[in-house]
């Protein structure tokens, strides 16, 4: 099908693949990113995206599906961060810093064992121009699964994000929803490895969601707008990077952050122009 | 009846509540009073398993409270809630129907209808589409009361509902609580102002790390018990109360 569109639109296949994967990644990270932003877990998201690295390396060495290894290490990181915070007086940002860097370091060491086939630079920064058809399909399926899970559990995810105290009081298992999001985050990180790489995944999750947050007063609107912004900055980023021969993932991020900057200044909700400085 | 046996709760490594034993009967409005740091909020949070107990059991009608929690509406202190969350007044009230919906089940027509009624009861229908950070303290408290109503609960736990709100809101809430009481609901209210105790409550729980006293207001709300709970801080507190609206 992609071959057909490629000839129809007279665009090389790799370019079409790059565009499509940027759109898919933009949509899925907008959906998930909205929850990450609202739950004040941006730093946690950054930690998890780095923490999947040893999982990626091990999967490669052992010859198992990369998604399995990466989700396992993502969840393990989330559990360890929680463990350190709850069993000591160390604050969560510090425990996140410890786990992020140590898992990342472990990943780098493991990759040197597997160095014949894995390219560290590729994993860290992505290479959207070399996204194989199979990975594109995988990203698409992951996007559908993430959207399905979040729609089915929308009310539980909304209340546990908005009011965790009352959620617990009426008996909702808030811990389950925390780890569910952490797992989805690990899976999405892996599916976006080829496109943007580990280092910039967090930008895709946080920037469109934060931009959308400045415009919306309803969660569902925030999610839809964040996905749209993610997809639009993805496609614009791909086009600009092709035209001016720039690194694609970095260009996508810079397009996204430009939209954020504009929104920050002109959004009526943020009210930056009239207020200048936020009060209260 | 809510039966509390040997309740012990730690707060950041220090003991916050020690060996509390109470049988709270249904059908009354009950005040929970005590000095700052007495463990009043901790008490209701530990009953609802929002914070962990060190030990003890809480039974409702002879069964563990976890089986009953959907029937308990909880209105926490305002600063426990993220007011910048992208949610409107109407949708906030709608979350009150969630405890009675099954997993995957979405609120339907019946729930939305009930939300409209609950908003009317506390006079916030005109604010339905506002984002919650744009409200005054009193309006916000009415939103959370409406949410509690939408839960169709039998028991209400309210933590300092009258702090930082205007007189109109206070009147609306007090009237509503009286109405709920007449319908046979049970209402527990954490309260720090000693002046309205006789007016608002049937019974009173006096706490200061331990249970000081529990019973009908006229027998229990006595100078001896209050002195026992507040100790040296009493003089200071009475002066504060007489100073008018004191928010802490």
pLDDT digits (tens, 9 = 90+) for A67-112: 889 889 999 999 999 899 988 989 989 999 999 999 999 999 998 8
Residue A222's domain comprises: 2-268
- Whether B33 is in a domain gets the answer yes
Establish if A210 touches chain B: CB-CB under 8 angstroms.
no
Q: Is B248 a domain residue?
A: no
| A252: in domain | yes
How many domains does chain A divide into? 1
Please tell me the distance in Å from B34's CA to the nearest CA on chain A.
23
The chain-wide mean pLDDT, for chain B, equals 90
Q: Are A194 and A138 in contact (CB under 8 A)?
A: no
pLDDT over threshold 60, residue A188: yes
Q: What ipTM was estimated for this complex?
A: 0.89
Tell whether A181 is covered by a domain: yes
Is B72 among the domain residues?
A: yes
The answer to whether position B107 is within a domain reads yes
The answer to whether position B238 is within a domain reads no
Q: Does B96 touch chain A (CB under 8 A)?
A: no
Instruction: Write out the residue range of the structural domain in which residue B142 sits.
Output: 2-232
Identify whether A274 is part of a domain. Answer: no
The confidence score (pLDDT) of residue B109 equals 95
Does residue A278 form part of some domain? no
pLDDT bracket for residue B216 (50, 70, 90): very high
Residue B246 maps to a domain: no
The C-alpha of A162 sits at a distance from chain B's nearest C-alpha, in angstroms, of 6
Tell whether A276 is covered by a domain. no
B241: pLDDT confidence band, cut at 50, 70 and 90? very low
pTM: 0.90
**CB within 8 Å: A152 and B101:** no
- Residue of chain B nearest A166, judged by CA positions: B74
Residue B11's CB is within 10 A of a number of other CB atoms, namely 15
Give the CATH number, domain containing residue A152.
1.10.3470.10
Among the partner residues A166, A217, A218, nearest to B74 by beta-carbon distance: A166
Q: Which candidate from A163, A166, A217 shows the least CB-CB separation from B131?
A: A217
Mean of all residue pLDDT scores within chain A: 89
Q: Inform me whether the C-beta atom of residue A68 falls under 8 Å from chain B C-beta atoms.
A: no
- Measured at the CA of B48, the angle between CA B26 and CA A36, to 5 degrees, comes to 145
R_g over Cα of chain B: 18
- Answer with the residue of higher pLDDT: A120 or B248: A120
CATH of the domain at B160: 3.40.50.300
Is the Cβ of B81 closer than 8 Å to some Cβ of chain A? yes
The count of domains in chain B is 1
Q: Which residues, 6+ apart, have CB-to-CB distance to A229 below 8 Å? A: A26, A30, A208, A211, A212, A256, A259
In a domain, B137, yes or no: yes
Using one digit for the tens of pLDDT, what is the confidence trace for B66-121? 999 999 999 999 878 899 999 999 999 999 999 999 999 999 999 999 999 999 99
Question: Vertex B116, ends B113 and B121: CA angle to 5°?
Answer: 130
Number of Cβ within a 10 Å radius of residue B242: 9
- What is the predicted pLDDT for the residue at B243? 32
Among A159-168, B153-162, B237-246, where is mean pLDDT lowest? Answer: B237-246
Residue in chain B nearest A151 by alpha carbon: B104
- pLDDT, residue A277, reads 53
Percent share of chain B, pLDDT over 90: 79
Q: What is the pLDDT of residues A217-259, one digit of tens each?
A: 999 999 999 999 999 999 999 999 989 999 888 999 999 999 9
Residues 6+ apart with CB under 8 A from A134: none
Please tell me the predicted confidence (pLDDT) of residue A122: 81
A104 close to B (CB below 8 A): no
Looking at residue A280, its pLDDT comes to 44
Backbone Cα Rg of chain A: 19
Please check whether residue A260 lies inside any domain of the structure: yes
User: Does any domain span residue B44?
Assistant: yes
């Amino acid at each position: 099908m992609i071959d057909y569109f490629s000839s129809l639109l007279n665009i090389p296949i790799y370019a079409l693949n790059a565009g499509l994967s940027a759109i898919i990644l933009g949509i899925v990270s907008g959906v998930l990113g909205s929850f990450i932003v609202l739950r004040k877990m941006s730093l946690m998201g950054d930690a998890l995206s780095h923490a999947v690295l040893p999982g990626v390396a091990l999967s490669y060495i052992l010859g198992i599906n990369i998604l399995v290894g990466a989700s396992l290490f993502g969840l393990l990181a989330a559990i360890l961060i929680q463990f350190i915070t709850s069993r000591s007086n160390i604050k969560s940002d510090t425990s996140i810093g410890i786990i992020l860097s140590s898992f990342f370091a472990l990943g780098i060491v493991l990759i040197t064992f597997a160095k014949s086939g894995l390219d560290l630079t590729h994993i860290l920064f992505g290479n959207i121009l070399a996204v194989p058809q199979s990975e594109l399909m995988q990203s698409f399926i992951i996007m559908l699964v993430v959207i399905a899970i979040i729609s089915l559990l929308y009310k539980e995810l909304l209340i546990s994000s908005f009011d965790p105290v009352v959620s617990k009081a009426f008996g909702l298992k808030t811990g389950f929803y925390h780890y569910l999001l952490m797992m989805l985050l690990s899976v999405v990180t892996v599916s976006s490895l080829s496109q943007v790489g580990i280092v910039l995944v967090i930008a895709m999750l946080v920037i469109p969601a934060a931009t959308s947050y400045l415009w919306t007063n309803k969660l569902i609107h925030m999610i839809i707008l964040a996905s749209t912004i993610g997809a639009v900055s993805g496609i614009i980023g791909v086009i600009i990077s092709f035209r001016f021969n720039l690194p694609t993932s970095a260009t996508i991020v810079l397009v996204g952050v430009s939209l954020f900057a504009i929104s920050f200044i002109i959004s009526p909700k943020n009210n930056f122009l009239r207020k200048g400085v936020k009060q209260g | 009846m809510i039966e509390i046996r040997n309740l012990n709760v730690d707060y950041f490594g220090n003991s916050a509540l020690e060996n509390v034993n109470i049988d709270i009967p249904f059908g009354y409005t009950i005040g929970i009073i005590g000095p700052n740091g007495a463990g009043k909020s901790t008490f209701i949070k530990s009953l609802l398993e929002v914070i962990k107990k060190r030990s003890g059991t809480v039974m409702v009608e002879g069964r563990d409270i976890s089986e009953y929690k959907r029937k308990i509406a909880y209105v926490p202190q305002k600063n426990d809630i993220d007011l910048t969350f992208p949610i409107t007044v109407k949708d906030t009230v709608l979350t009150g129907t969630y405890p009675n919906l099954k997993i995957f089940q979405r609120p339907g027509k019946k729930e939305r209808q009930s939300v409209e009624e609950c908003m009317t009861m506390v006079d916030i229908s005109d604010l339905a589409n506002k984002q919650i950070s744009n409200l005054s303290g009193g309006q916000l408290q009415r939103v959370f009361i409406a949410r509690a109503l939408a839960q169709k609960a039998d028991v209400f736990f309210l933590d300092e509902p009258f702090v930082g709100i205007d007189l109109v809101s206070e009147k609306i809430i007090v009237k509503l609580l009286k109405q709920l009481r007449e319908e046979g609901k049970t209402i527990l209210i954490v309260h720090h102002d000693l002046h309205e105790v006789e007016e608002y409550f049937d019974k009173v729980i006096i706490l200061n790390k331990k249970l000081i006293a529990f019973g009908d207001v006229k027998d229990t709300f006595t100078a001896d018990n209050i002195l026992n709970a507040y100790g040296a801080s009493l003089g200071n507190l009475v002066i504060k109360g007489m100073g008018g609206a004191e928010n802490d």
